[in-house]
Structure 1
Amino acid sequence: MIFCSHTLLAQFNSGRFSGMGSGGGTMQRDTSRHEHEPDTLTIRYRYLGEPTDFMLDSSLNDWYRSFLRVPNSYVTLGNSGSAARNLIFTPRMTAGFDAGFHAYDIYRFTHDDARFFYTNRPYTELGYLIGNMQEQLINAQHTQNRTERFNFNFEFRKVSAPGFFKNQNTDHNGVRLTARFNSKNKRYHAFASFYNNKLTGGENGGIPSDTFLTNPDFKRRRTIPVNLGGQGGSFSFFNNSISTKNTYKEASIRFLHHYDWGKGDTVHVNDTTDYYKYDPFFRVQHTLTYTSSRYEFIDQQVDSNFYKNNYGFDIADTDTLFASHFWRTISNDLSLIQFPVRGNLGHFISAGARFDHTIGEFLDTSRNISFQNFSIHGEYRNKTKNQKWDLSAKGELYLFGENAGDYVVSGTLSRYINPMLGNVSLSFRNVNREPSYVYRYFGTNRVAWESTVDYGKENITQFQFAARNERLQYDLTANYFVFNKFNYFSNFAEAQQFNSLFNLLQVVFSKRFSANHLHWYADLAFQQLHGNSPIQLPTVWTRHRFTYEDVLYKNLNLVTGLEASYNTDYNADNYSPLLGQFFYQNTERISNYPDVHAFVHFRIKSFNAFVRGENLNTFLWKNNMSAPLYPRNNFAFRLGIRWWFVN
């Protein structure tokens, strides 16, 4: 895709390069002084463990993917940045220790999605959003190569939104820094990733009754009473005072380095260009990771009836309720990797072992724990040079420690057939895992819950068929899940394990229909549970975007139209603010009208603007509901801008 502006003359170089110094391949040398215009940009990035290069996304038609970076299928508790879950069910399928706090996951920086760049010119991206009720969002990124052998990338993200209802303020701050280095002879390579997240979400416990939404005396939604937080705290962009809130603080650093044995050659391209190519055949790789996570809840304006009715304990309205879980983990991983075919880093065999040491600290110090885990893992990957076949097989087994017996195995076979039939893949994944720790214990300064359930290991199996066709412009994914001993929360504080087998059929389809400048983007998900289960899902979720797209006056890229999303009625999960968990309920059915938005998105050179009128449906009907007693926002005007700079 065209990436930057005509004025900046910044465009993607289509040549592939060798994974930012991971040894081998053909790195594109910086030739801007000789062959290209002064501002020509070559930029690629990769994720750790993935041999494929990626380019930045400059599309305008999907606001959620390209700007908000929150999938549209996720539903929040009403406000931007509040606790969220996916309407297209996505079970957690990782082995090993897990604290269990995931309501704010979509706003986090992590190591798994950390990007390691190569760019021949410094690149900066700035984004800013302003909306109703003082909603603001800031995105900032800068990456540059100090030399061909060293690159760093900096990212910052802030989400600040008081919302339309009392005490649902959100204030998220995230920073991530990545860097990569390779030695002059391309034998030694190092990658570092650091992130720090502070995610704060106000918890109002929902409204007392949905009748307030149709009462003309409460057209100003801020006047509707809420179950927690009283009148709420003060709000400002840089200093929020939230009386009742969850705060998740996470900081982690990962250092991965490896040394290669292989063969190097100097390749002569032309009279002015030579580069050194190194093809490894054996690699020793070490990874050190340290992670610190603190999950806190505080209520400084207690509603005693709410806690008595929903959690079963007495507390005075003048008291403060506080909960804290603090986890620290240090992990060492050693892997041996062999590359059977010279010059193809996508074809390798790896085997390794990892040792983890974890410490957990709570308000009740007698509950503090410390434990270790030792696991072995292996992978076979064969991504052929012609890019047609991609075979992957992975496995990890916890041999001893707190999570002994946990494992995860997966396999994928992918084949690019031809331009007409596109790419088709078959996948399998099976995970056997210990329940997350929050299912076993949760403690506050007033009361603690320790589960009496004799938990077995949760087992989830996934079979997947996927097809992607760029010519016919569709994506199809079909999943079949089998669940055994599924863990879930059955009310505000009680965890359970469902001991019977049940399964889920899930089909997700996306298609683009075009007629000249008119486009219809259709997204559809179908979900069908078989057997008794502690999961409630909408049978159908769908989103449609009807757009007019054109290039006007040579450099004005315009996308304008309407967007609507809808899901069939179902018993939506309720939410426990004290524990920060969504939980199963089968008594209250949620039935909504479609969410409707109008938008004008455009790009002029390297400047992008997103002008949106959201929740137009509230002019005709009452607010849609995300969960029992959790209404979504009113009509909102949002203006977002994004600007690229090539320095």
Structure 2
Amino acid sequence: MIRLILVFFLVFLFNNVSAQTKPKLSKEQMERLRKQDSLNPDLNNRGAKQEKAKISDYLIISHKNDTTFVDTTLTIRKEYKFNYLRKDNFGLIPFSNLGQTYNSLTYNFENTSLMPSFGARARHFNYMEIEDVNYYRVPTPLTELLYKSAFEQGQLADSFFTVNTSPQLNFSIAYKGLRSLGKYQHLLTSTGNFRFTTNYQTKNNRYLARAHIVMQDLLNQENGGLRDDMIENFENGVEEFLDRSILEVNFENAENILRGKRFHLEHNYSIIRKKDSLSKNKLSIGHIISLKDKSYQYDQTSVSTSYFGSAFASSNQRDRVTLENFYNQLQLNYSNNIIGDLQFNVSSNNYNYGYNKVVVLNGNTITNRLKGDVFSAGGKYRKQFKKFELFGELGINVSGDFDGNFLKAHATFKLNSDLSATASINHSSKAPNYNVLLYQSNYTNYNWRNNFNNTETQQLAFQLKSKKIADISVDYSTINDYTYFKRDATGIPDGEFVPIKPFQNTETISYLRVKLDKEIKVGKFALQNTLLYQNVQDDNNILNVPQLTTRNTLYYSSHVFKKAMYLQTGVTFNYFTKYNMNSYDPLLAEFYVQTDKEYGGFPRLDFFVNAKIRQTRIYIKAEHFNSAFTGYNYFAAPNNPYRDFTVRFGVVWNFFL
């Protein structure tokens, strides 16, 4: 019933007053947008002269209301983001096929969530959360088309369109789809991300709203990786097995899929508003309403007891878990020129996680549902004073089955036009993920109900940003009651199957990260360097990361053909030191700890040629071209190889109407 009410409410809103918090625009931009609008009465006059839009007028508004504009330039940062995730994936290593999961080489323990996460985290790298959805404001319709070749049969395509029907109302619609067969047996990926956004403000700017609908389905065939007796053939580069489809895998009859739907609305009404720069006070009320519906499903036609252990039934397995979460937040916002920006909020989460069956194991009944209501309170504060900015945010669960709290604060000081420094602190106490607390499966080893403590983290971070010097960031985290998956050999005789189970670490983990980002330019040549150093103090070897991760790109950029085309070409070097890399479990769609063998220590070299012609960017890359002569010891996870040498092509095309 709640879902039907929300859907009706959103549909009504989209047809009347949907969408966003207004970004800060200059008077010049506002006037230009008014003149260029297709519904502007002034343009009905044939003698009216239309002013040409500037690229800076095509605005992108983030979830946090940070405003940027459409960027059609060709830079090395664009090269790093031209991938399946469409963001810089430094610190991740992908599996062999496009659309599969990624193994994490680094972790950030900053957290502002008060509720458990869904689980199946290996499927979430391409899952678009609320923070990943942008809103738009454009003087003329804008279209962006992306294409990139995949592995064997298939391709990646992302299509986007946005339009302002008036200066007050904007709509956007987009769909990213992928289908890729892959080089190895039974490794097809098929994913889709649909999103629709709208944002609105009244002419007097008193009422502001924005909303989105996102629907996603991420399907992967799973093969359990290479069989152990095939690893030697892969690592030795046996010519017969250079055709990767010949290598035998653990099974060829399973797939998993993550589905999700979200209906989200944020709106705000100003009770007292600033009429000009001399006004001192602003008071508004805000409301956020969000309905999230998720499911994760694992299908297998016949069981693989050698890989997962014993099962209740031998065929037609289907494990399916769902989560429905209905979220409401009421806000009171107050702004004053002296005090700054203050917000007080109260929130509620109505959650329902679980399965449509009850499991009885060894005489014990495992519950099939976690459901209830959690009520929380919080606040935000921001103050800008000349070159100094202070921001703080906090939240706490005041009632319900899940305890939780967080505190986040940062201070930024801009020393000059080039140099700024930021110090931040974050404390978090949050319940473990749902699939750690409760899991049910046809496989007997994958059934549990745990009452773990909250995971508590504290993080101190410092950041220095300077184009002349470098971008340097340092963070130090301590983690208590960290939860993880690992094979449990307790009470298991030698030679028998060792199951994977969730655990909670009783010792404190200390985790240090130092990251440096610096570009050196000499004429038309440049060297872009990203270096990450990590150190973990963990007696139980639970949190494993490489000590050193580096990415270095040497490239050349120049206009050619009488400046008709901008060319960028170069080589990127990626490397991380050996460490106890996490293994992947396809049933859970989670990574688990292993300490038997170290992986890594292999170089990855990519050669690229990129070009820009007007608003079109063309990308050609020879990925991992050194694979044949630096050794076949490259793995993204144990038994799951990284990609062989391949050449891929892609294009991004913007249309401004």
Aligned counterpart for 2:271 among listed residues 261, 266, 270? 261
- Counterpart of 1:189, as a letter, is L
2:245 aligned with 1:222: yes
Structure 2 partner of 1:13 = none
Q: What's the RMSD between the two structures over aligned residues?
A: 2.4
Q: Distance in 2 between matches of 1:175 and 1:279?
A: 42
Q: Are the equivalent residues in 2 in contact too, given 1:350–1:379 (CA < 8 A)?
A: yes
Aligned counterpart for 1:614 among listed residues 615, 623, 631? 623
Aligned counterpart for 1:540 among listed residues 548, 556, 559? 548
CA distances 1:187-220 after superposition (whole Å, capped 9, x unpaired): 1111101111101122111101311212222110
Structure 1 partner of 2:329 = 333
Structure 2 partner of 1:371 = 372
Q: Distance in 2 between matches of 1:605 and 1:363?
A: 55
Q: Distance in 1 between matches of 2:655 and 2:25?
A: 30
User: What displacement does 1:501 show?
Assistant: 1.0
Alignment of 1:96-115 (within 5 A): 96-115=115-134
How has the CA–CA distance of structure 1 residues 549 and 364 changed in structure 2, closer, same or farther, with 3 Å as cutoff?
Answer: same
User: What displacement does 1:376 show?
Assistant: 0.3
Alignment of 1:102-251 (within 5 A): 102-209=121-228, 210-213=231-234, 214=236, 215-229=238-252, 243-251=253-261
User: What displacement does 1:544 show?
Assistant: 0.8
How has the CA–CA distance of structure 1 residues 578 and 200 changed in structure 2, closer, same or farther, with 3 Å as cutoff?
Answer: same
Q: Are the equivalent residues in 2 in contact too, given 1:363–1:444 (CA < 8 A)?
A: no
Q: Distance in 1 between matches of 2:527 and 2:224?
A: 38
Q: Distance in 2 between matches of 1:96 and 1:25?
A: 39
Aligned counterpart for 2:654 among listed residues 633, 644, 647? 644
Deviates more, 1:452-461 or 1:116-125: 452-461
Aligned counterpart for 1:65 among listed residues 75, 78, 81? 81
Structure 2 partner of 1:38 = 52
2:505 aligned with 1:504: no
Q: Distance in 2 between matches of 1:130 and 1:566?
A: 24
User: What displacement does 1:446 show?
Assistant: 4.6
- Counterpart of 1:443, as a letter, is Q
Q: Distance in 1 between matches of 2:449 and 2:128?
A: 34
User: What displacement does 1:521 show?
Assistant: 0.6
Alignment of 1:126-525 (within 5 A): 126-209=145-228, 210-213=231-234, 214=236, 215-229=238-252, 243-263=253-273, 265=275, 281-308=282-309, 312-313=310-311, 316=314, 319-341=315-337, 347-365=340-358, 367-384=368-385, 388-404=387-403, 406-420=404-418, 422-447=419-444, 449-451=446-448, 454-472=451-469, 474-491=470-487, 493-525=500-532
Q: Distance in 1 between matches of 2:650 and 2:459?
A: 38
User: What displacement does 1:111 show?
Assistant: 1.3
The percent of aligned pairs where both chains have the same amino acid is 18
How has the CA–CA distance of structure 1 residues 446 and 572 changed in structure 2, closer, same or farther, with 3 Å as cutoff?
Answer: closer
Q: Distance in 1 between matches of 2:401 and 2:215?
A: 27
Query: What is the SS of the residue equivalent to 2:67?
Result: coil
Q: Distance in 2 between matches of 1:265 and 1:456?
A: 50
CA distances 1:442-483 after superposition (whole Å, capped 9, x unpaired): 1123536444655211101111001111344x2111010101
Query: What is the SS of the residue equivalent to 1:217?
Result: helix
Q: Distance in 1 between matches of 2:279 and 2:265?
A: 23
Q: Distance in 2 between matches of 1:471 and 1:142?
A: 37
Q: Distance in 1 between matches of 2:221 and 2:532?
A: 31
User: What displacement does 1:36 show?
Assistant: 7.2
> Which consecutive unaligned segments of at least 5 residues does structure 2 have?
1-19, 37-42, 359-366, 488-498
Structure 2 partner of 1:240 = none
Aligned counterpart for 1:597 among listed residues 591, 603, 606? 606
User: What displacement does 1:587 show?
Assistant: 0.5
How has the CA–CA distance of structure 1 residues 218 and 141 changed in structure 2, closer, same or farther, with 3 Å as cutoff?
Answer: same
Q: Distance in 2 between matches of 1:181 and 1:416?
A: 33
Q: Are the equivalent residues in 1 in contact too, given 2:395–2:405 (CA < 8 A)?
A: yes
User: What displacement does 1:337 show?
Assistant: 0.3
- Counterpart of 1:43, as a letter, is Y
How has the CA–CA distance of structure 1 residues 166 and 81 changed in structure 2, closer, same or farther, with 3 Å as cutoff?
Answer: same
User: What displacement does 1:22 show?
Assistant: 6.1
Q: Distance in 2 between matches of 1:593 and 1:413?
A: 39
Q: Distance in 2 between matches of 1:244 and 1:471?
A: 52
- Counterpart of 1:48, as a letter, is H
Q: Are the equivalent residues in 2 in contact too, given 1:327–1:361 (CA < 8 A)?
A: yes
User: What displacement does 1:619 show?
Assistant: 1.8
TM-score, structure 2 normalization: 0.86
How has the CA–CA distance of structure 1 residues 135 and 633 changed in structure 2, closer, same or farther, with 3 Å as cutoff?
Answer: farther
Q: Distance in 1 between matches of 2:178 and 2:633?
A: 23
Structure 2 partner of 1:11 = none
Q: Distance in 2 between matches of 1:283 and 1:257?
A: 10
What is the number of residues matched between the two proteins? 593
User: What displacement does 1:146 show?
Assistant: 0.8
User: What displacement does 1:615 show?
Assistant: 1.3
CA distances 1:130-177 after superposition (whole Å, capped 9, x unpaired): 144124100111111111100112221112222111122211100111
Aligned counterpart for 1:628 among listed residues 624, 638, 643? 638
Aligned counterpart for 1:85 among listed residues 80, 92, 103? 103
Q: Are the equivalent residues in 2 in contact too, given 1:122–1:144 (CA < 8 A)?
A: yes
TM-score, structure 1 normalization: 0.87
- Counterpart of 2:606, as a letter, is H
Q: Are the equivalent residues in 1 in contact too, given 2:445–2:500 (CA < 8 A)?
A: no
2:581 aligned with 1:572: yes
- Counterpart of 2:172, as a letter, is N
Q: Are the equivalent residues in 1 in contact too, given 2:178–2:192 (CA < 8 A)?
A: yes
CA distances 1:350-382 after superposition (whole Å, capped 9, x unpaired): 001001111124141561342110000101012
User: What displacement does 1:315 show?
Assistant: 5.8
Q: Distance in 2 between matches of 1:86 and 1:204?
A: 20
How has the CA–CA distance of structure 1 residues 179 and 280 changed in structure 2, closer, same or farther, with 3 Å as cutoff?
Answer: farther
> Which consecutive unaligned segments of at least 5 residues does structure 1 have?
1-18, 230-242, 268-276
- Counterpart of 2:157, as a letter, is I
User: What displacement does 1:609 show?
Assistant: 0.4
Q: Are the equivalent residues in 1 in contact too, given 2:439–2:449 (CA < 8 A)?
A: no
